[in-house]
Amino acid sequence: MFTLPWLDLPLVWAGLIAIAVLAYVLLDGFDLGVGILFAVEPEDGDRDVMVNSVAPVWDGNETWLVLGGGGLFAVFPLAYATIMPALYPVIISMLLGLIFRGVAFEFRFRATTRSGRRLWDLAFFSGSTLAALCQGLALGGLLQGIKVVDRAYAGGWFDWLTPFTVLCGIAVVIGYALLGSTWLIWRTEGPLQTRARGLAKILGIATLALIAAVSLWTPMLNPVFADRWFGWPGIALTAPVPILVALLAWQFWRGLRLCHDVTPFACALGWFVLCFAGLGISVYPNMVPPSITIWQAAAPPESQAFLLVGAVVLIPTILAYTFYAYWVFRGKVTADTGYHH
Amino acid sequence: MAGIDAVVLARAQFAFTIGFHIIFPAFSIGLASYLMVLEGMWLRTGRRVYLDLFQYWVKAFALVFGMGVVSGLVMSYQFGTNWGAFADKAGPIVGPLMGYEVLTAFFLEAGFLGIMLFGMKKVGKGLHFAATCVVAFGTLLSGFWILSVNSWMQTPQGYAITADGHFVPTSWMEIIFNPSFFYRFPHMILGCYLAVAFFVGAVGAYHLLRDRSNLAARTMFSMALWMATLVAPAQILVGDAHGLNTLEHQPAKVAAMEGDWETHPGQPLVLFALPDQAAATNRYEIAIPKLGSLILTHKLDGEIKGLKDFAPQDRPPVAVVFWAFRVMVTLGLLMAAFGLGSLVLRRRGRIYTNVWLQRGMVAMAPAGFLAILAGWTVTEVGRQPFTVYGLLRTIDSVSPIGLPGVATSLAAFAVVYFLVFGAGVAFLLTMVSRPPIPGEPGPSPEQPMRSSGITPGPVAMAAE
């Protein structure tokens, strides 16, 4: 049978799943962030512009989450089967939040009364915030470790709820809000853009503080993480991460000061990529910290090879199309025209 | 391990979320093919009414497709949250098939849905029709993968089981094209076609009752009745073949469908009964002698195994399967009656004037969807007490989630689904309560009425 013996399939698949999750965080991050920013942008016209700026792309963004979840089930069933029960309330809440905001996208434009519209706006805001918070909690819960006995989750109900995971939850909400505000700087103009710039300053500081807090706390969770970050030779790999974060921070404020359109967004995305890389450095070679490695979690090679054929053809196609769609929708979004160039 | 009650609730949760979900993809599958036919007819005949109907229904398609994607998101996580042991043991086989479904759907959504929804004036008729065909084909392909997974869980083959109880694939061809797939897949697709035909027919009838001269309403009504005439009887034949296949591979399920407890030649056809699982008998049974054997074995004294041939712990919940089957069959016969009855009226030239046919069709609007739900209840509950038939028990498939957790999440899903999809269905009904008009506009470029996937809107296309 077809198994590709010359390829370290689990490692390849771990990379692909990581790419899918990163793509999800970067892409859905900014559109969830736009929803979170509804809290501080109460005006109907501005809200329309904000929603229109993400309307053409949000659904494609969200599909990466299906790809990540479906992919995990297909090629790392043990990881899927232990992470999901361990984070049960968090995952369910995240899904419900995403449902609310997904349909709010469609329905807020169809609501015929003002109060109806307010209700869907509220659904959009709270769904976005809940989804972001849960993603942070899930990240924290995974990092602090999941207790597995006999290939099944063996922890308690609320193991995922600790000060550390709450910090991660807040960090993701604030980080997504930062992505949202910098996205608005890029894609809008006038007073909305000016306000987004002001927000980005505050959110930028808050995000950096939270990144620092999570980064300092993570090595304390687990001696392996600490050794990875501060021991030799790990430090050769890890030292560039904070340095690059600082460099991006300098660029970020320079871009804000000089009123660049794209630079703040690009820098905020860069922070997320670096944080993601940092996570990878901490967790590798585990799939489910602290006890299940990538290879232990892997489905048999017959399964991994079978799906790899489809993934190799379809994922680049999807990526290419994603870039194309973003290219098509480049330019500023205004109140009267929807999109213009 | 979770207690039995948590297992029942986890099953209820899966049934609830997939029961909601399945309506939308079924609608998408049927409607996508219908849209393809409409556009094809328009290109071939040049008659404006087909384009009007296309534009009328493509808006409903966008809404329904969107709800399908949102409710589908939940499904892709449900296997892990509630069925972790199943995901771990059967994941190597079930997972990649589901993975192909996700990739297929994603690919389709990314590329062609946007053109189909918004690109009519931008890409030319030929290319637009091609996009519509790809979307229709894509919905069928999604259905292909899901039905393949489900059929494998019913009639598993092409696998090996490791010492610690994990399924490992040995032949993907055998897995994908397992014995019940060839019956379940056409049965489901025809079910989707019928469901949409009766929904479209009901909408046509509703508008005919108000304005008998509305050409678009007349056309959709007539097309829907043709579908009923041709497909409903075909579905009965396919369903019969599917039943025979089930008799071969899952005799306990058939015994539950039939309400047969004893094994003997010349089984009766039970019309009515209250099956009593504990006492292993039927109460208040009304039955026609020998007919059961005639239908299932095509012989008067053919032998059909009764439920007592299976250990009590291996029997599915009989009453649910028994009644769901009767609901499905009754609806199927009713749909066939409408199809054949309308043929008689059509020959007399009365389908546009017979008010009772139209009122009946309005009442039949949900018939096809109810039949799909009943049919899925038969096949899924009939597979119990196993998730992978004969190999992996449901009780050994669940996640270690306690009763309060499953109960809370089930309640949350129930509230949110009724709220959200209730609103969605209300929008859909509002949409179709408006009559189709000559020069029907396409999806509005002003509102972001988008389904899943990256769909370049008309403004963007205009800007190119």
User: Given an 8 Å threshold on Cβ–Cβ distance, is B96 in contact with A75?
Assistant: yes
Is there a domain that residue A270 lies in?
yes
Quick one: B342 and B423 in the same domain? no
Mutate to test the interface with A, among B88, B97, B455 (most CBs of A within 10 A): B88
What is the predicted pLDDT for the residue at B195?
96
3-state secondary structure at position B448: coil
Closest chain B C-alpha to A297 CA, distance in angstroms: 9
Mutate to test the interface with A, among B14, B74, B76, B83 (most CBs of A within 10 A): B76
Quick one: B164 and B38 in the same domain? yes
Is there a domain that residue B119 lies in?
yes
Does residue B124 sit at the A interface (CB-CB below 8 Å)? no
Is there a domain that residue B276 lies in?
no
Contacts of A1 in chain B (CB under 8 A): 169-171
Domain count, chain B: 2
Q: Which domain holds residue B215?
A: 184-261+307-396
User: Given an 8 Å threshold on Cβ–Cβ distance, is B99 in contact with A55?
Assistant: no
Cβ(A307)–Cβ(B96) under 8 Å? Answer: yes
Quick one: B324 and B364 in the same domain? yes
d(C-alpha A111, C-alpha A117), whole Å: 5
Decide: residue A324, CB within 10 A, 0-12 exposed, 13-18 middle, 19+ buried: middle
pLDDT tops 70 at residue A336 = no
Question: Where is the domain boundary, B342, B376, B396?
Answer: B396
d(C-alpha A178, C-alpha A252), whole Å: 11
Is there a domain that residue A1 lies in?
no
Is there a domain that residue B295 lies in?
no
Cβ(A110)–Cβ(A18) under 8 Å? Answer: no
pLDDT tens digits, one per residue of A194-206: 999 999 999 999 9
Q: Which domain holds residue A172?
A: 9-328
Question: Where is the domain boundary, B396, B427, B445?
Answer: B396
Quick one: B162 and B21 in the same domain? yes
Is there a domain that residue A269 lies in?
yes
The Cβ of residue A135 has, within 10 Å, a number of other Cβ atoms equal to: 27
Is there a domain that residue B302 lies in?
no
Is there a domain that residue B282 lies in?
no
SS (H, E, C) A84-109: HHHCHHHHHHHHHHHHHHHHHHHHCC
What is the predicted pLDDT for the residue at B459?
35
pLDDT tops 90 at residue A318 = no
pLDDT (tens place) for every residue of chain B, 464 residues total: 445 588 888 888 888 989 989 999 999 999 999 999 999 999 999 899 999 999 899 888 888 887 887 788 788 788 888 888 898 899 899 999 999 988 887 777 656 777 777 667 667 888 888 888 988 998 899 899 999 999 999 999 999 998 888 899 999 999 999 999 999 999 999 999 999 999 999 999 999 999 888 899 999 999 999 999 999 999 999 999 999 889 889 999 988 988 888 887 888 888 888 888 888 888 888 888 888 888 888 887 888 888 888 888 889 999 999 999 999 999 999 999 999 999 998 988 888 888 899 999 999 999 999 999 999 999 999 998 999 998 889 888 888 877 888 888 888 888 888 888 888 888 889 889 988 888 888 776 554 444 334 333 333 333 32
Distant-in-sequence, close-in-space partners of B303: CB < 8 Å, separation ≥ 6 = B263, B264, B265, B267, B293, B297
Averaged pLDDT of chain A: 86
d(C-alpha B201, C-alpha B261), whole Å: 41
User: Given an 8 Å threshold on Cβ–Cβ distance, is B96 in contact with A99?
Assistant: no
Question: Where is the domain boundary, B348, B376, B396?
Answer: B396
Quick one: B172 and B317 in the same domain? no
What is the predicted pLDDT for the residue at A340?
33
d(C-alpha B11, C-alpha B18), whole Å: 10
What is the predicted pLDDT for the residue at B174?
92
Is there a domain that residue B280 lies in?
no
d(C-alpha A25, C-alpha A28), whole Å: 6
Is there a domain that residue A3 lies in?
no
Quick one: B145 and B116 in the same domain? yes
Counted residue by residue, chain B has a size of: 464
Quick one: B3 and B77 in the same domain? yes
The Cβ of residue B291 has, within 10 Å, a number of other Cβ atoms equal to: 16
Quick one: B388 and B416 in the same domain? no
Is there a domain that residue A323 lies in?
yes
User: Given an 8 Å threshold on Cβ–Cβ distance, is A99 in contact with B420?
Assistant: yes
User: Given an 8 Å threshold on Cβ–Cβ distance, is A67 in contact with B106?
Assistant: yes
User: Given an 8 Å threshold on Cβ–Cβ distance, is A299 in contact with B95?
Assistant: yes
Q: pTM, whole model, 2 decimals?
A: 0.87
Is there a domain that residue B135 lies in?
yes
Quick one: B11 and B110 in the same domain? yes
d(C-alpha A52, C-alpha B121), whole Å: 22
Domain count, chain A: 1
Is there a domain that residue B320 lies in?
yes
| DSSP type of residue B304 | E
Is there a domain that residue A29 lies in?
yes
Quick one: B66 and B170 in the same domain? yes
pLDDT tops 50 at residue A6 = yes
Quick one: B254 and B114 in the same domain? no
Quick one: B86 and B115 in the same domain? yes
